[in-house]
Amino acid sequence: MTMPKSSLGNLLRSVPHELSGDPNIEISSLSYDSRKVDGPGTLFAAFVGARADGHRFIGEAVRRGAVAVLVSKPVEVPEGVCVVKVDDTRLALAEIARALYDDPSSKLVCTGVTGTKGKTTTTFLLSHIMNASGWASGLVGTMGHIAGGDLEPGVNTTPEAADLQGLLYEMAKAGRTHVAVEASSHGIALGRVAQVDWDVGVFTNIGHDHLDFHGTMENYVEAKASFFRLLGRFGAKPSKPWPKVAVINLDDPRYPAMADAAQEAKTDVITYSAAGNRGNPSCRHLGATDVVTGGKGMSYVAHWFEGDSASSGTGPVEVRSSLVGGFNVSNSLAAIGAALALGVALEDAARAVAAFPGVPGRFEAVDEGQDFAVIVDYAHTPDSLANVLKTARGIARGRVICVFGCGGDRDRSKRPLMGKIAQTMADYSIVTSDNPRSEDPADIAKEIARGMWGSEATPTGFADGDGQGIWKIILDRREAIYEGIRSTRPGDVLIIAGKGHETYQIFHDRRVHFDDREEARAALRELKMDA
């Protein structure tokens, strides 16, 4: 695909700056990683991060061909290299990227989904509904992106602004008309999504996560709420006459903060509820009744209200799905609510949900014909682990066994909380390694175990009077999965939580291939051979 080019001066028209150098120099690519500068035409942005200062790598970027550098502090560069000084290089690069890629979000119908849990399932569902409605949909999120072709892996749930603008440009050039994007709290706080012309914003829920980055729950909630203020930033799109819409989960106690932010942006609001709640009667509302969940899927009756009365011509519509768990009732309502905001009929949305095949690594069954269930799930926060274990308890005929860990260099405060949840909600838990990064896996496990210790507990585990382990620590994740499978009995449900679709483990000095689904399948086959 031919990439765009522009003069530096043209890209800086809406950016307050001080320029040293030739404004007519041609820019054809953007980079904030000096290792990825790929020759002449590159503008290198020096980000100041928590662990590194990009200004230190300007020399390397110039040696690799950068013709201009975007900085927030004085620097020295070779003659002929342009220097653009701004207050905030992240925010400035976002505006520059939007200009370089010719404002790609204005050419797409853009929906952003934010919340602690459910973003991936909701965006996948919504993209599926949009495709079923005859629109070519792009996707950006935790599992990667769909831009010009198939799903490709990504680095961040919400890419840096320059990367996101590039993906939207690629989608528009490939003929896609719609896109569903996971808007993470990091992505919102760091300005990655601020230059996207959003049409619909979706709020799923707020739980305990990312407090290492945000500091307090209040800051975390504010980051989510600020996303809905972005809905009014660029005004209505001339080619799309419908108003901007916020789709908000009425069941979450933080929904007023999101609704207030949406009202500040003067956007319409659609509420949804899986629990029978009904908010402001003047708002459009999507509700669920007659909810049935089980090991093979779920069903409910969806009710669509236009203000005070049911929408004429639609009536209650049954929604069926192979997705398992009560939380997926809420996720599917979020996706359907966003689709309704875009003009999809309720019956058509329900039909698409019924055909949705599921999301890899989200309550994904690993089946080798065994007489117990093995489920791999991405749950890596207290709330998501609790939801998954609650769902497991609902389908288990025997015990619930859980293998899980917590990531290194991430929010430490959630570790004992997850330990307590596992001890309370599972019959047997195995604490193991999960992307320890620069931390010692044993130290992480001990912090998790503090939430599990009782009066007779030890740092390595605790057994009841029959010698049956209530919990133990096995740092080798492969061995932990094997132990979980060896411990199962007919009718049990084994949950392997934390990594889901991920196919790697990150240690302080290396990144290695590791897929929970592959490991579970190998263990099940070995168990079958030994039987």
CB distance 229 to 112 below 8 Å: no
The pLDDT tens digits for 81-112 are 999 999 999 999 999 999 999 999 999 999 99
Q: What is the pLDDT of residue 233?
A: 87
Q: What is the pLDDT of residue 237?
A: 72
CB distance 372 to 484 below 8 Å: no
Q: What percent of the chain clears pLDDT 70, i.e. is strictly above it?
A: 92
Token code pair at residue 25: 């120099």
More confident residue, 237 or 365: 365
Q: What is the pLDDT of residue 461?
A: 63
pLDDT at 466 over 80: no
115: left (phi over 0), alpha (psi -120 to 50) or beta: left
Q: Which amino acid is at 484?
A: G
The pLDDT tens digits for 334-387 are 999 999 999 999 999 999 999 999 998 989 889 999 999 999 999 999 989 998
Q: Supply the pTM of this predicted model.
A: 0.84
Determine the topology of domain 6-100 in CATH.
Answer: 3.40.1390
The pLDDT tens digits for 116-147 are 999 999 999 999 999 999 999 999 999 999 99
Sketch the domain layout of the chain as residue ranges. Answer: 6-100, 104-273+326-350, 364-530
Q: What is the mean pLDDT of residues 184-193?
A: 91
pLDDT at 326 over 50: yes
SS3 331: helix
More confident residue, 300 or 240: 300
Token code pair at residue 233: 């930033």
Phi, psi at 219, each rounded to 5°: -65, -40
The pLDDT tens digits for 373-414 are 999 999 999 989 998 999 999 999 999 999 999 999 988 999
Separation between Cα atoms, residue 280 and residue 202, nearest integer Å: 17
Separation between Cα atoms, residue 333 and residue 349, nearest integer Å: 10
Q: What percent of the chain clears pLDDT 90, i.e. is strictly above it?
A: 77
The pLDDT tens digits for 289-323 are 999 988 778 999 999 998 765 544 466 999 999 99
pLDDT at 45 over 80: yes
Q: What is the pLDDT of residue 280?
A: 82
Closest alpha carbon to 109 in 92, 144, 134? 134
Q: What is the pLDDT of residue 312?
A: 45
Q: pLDDT confidence of 250, banded at 50, 70, 90? A: very high
Q: What is the mean pLDDT of residues 149-168?
A: 90
More confident residue, 154 or 484: 484
Q: What is the pLDDT of residue 220?
A: 87
Token code pair at residue 46: 């020096």
Integer angstrom CA distances of residue 166 from 47, 96, 195: 18, 11, 12
Token code pair at residue 323: 């997705």
Integer angstrom CA distances of residue 223 from 91, 116, 370: 16, 12, 45
Q: Which amino acid is at 356?
A: F
Token code pair at residue 65: 């061909």
The pLDDT tens digits for 194-230 are 999 999 999 999 986 655 665 688 888 999 999 999 9
What CATH superfamily classification does 104-273+326-350 receive?
Mur-like, catalytic domain (3.40.1190.10)
pLDDT at 464 over 60: no
Phi, psi at 286, each rounded to 5°: -120, 120
Q: What is the pLDDT of residue 213?
A: 66
Q: What is the mean pLDDT of residues 416-424?
A: 94
Q: What is the mean pLDDT of residues 456-479?
A: 69
More confident residue, 50 or 428: 428
More confident residue, 328 or 282: 328
pLDDT at 455 over 50: no
* CATH number at 364-530: 3.90.190.20
Separation between Cα atoms, residue 115 and residue 429, nearest integer Å: 27
Pairing of strands 137-141, 109-114: unpaired
Q: What is the pLDDT of residue 151?
A: 87
Q: What is the pLDDT of residue 426?
A: 95
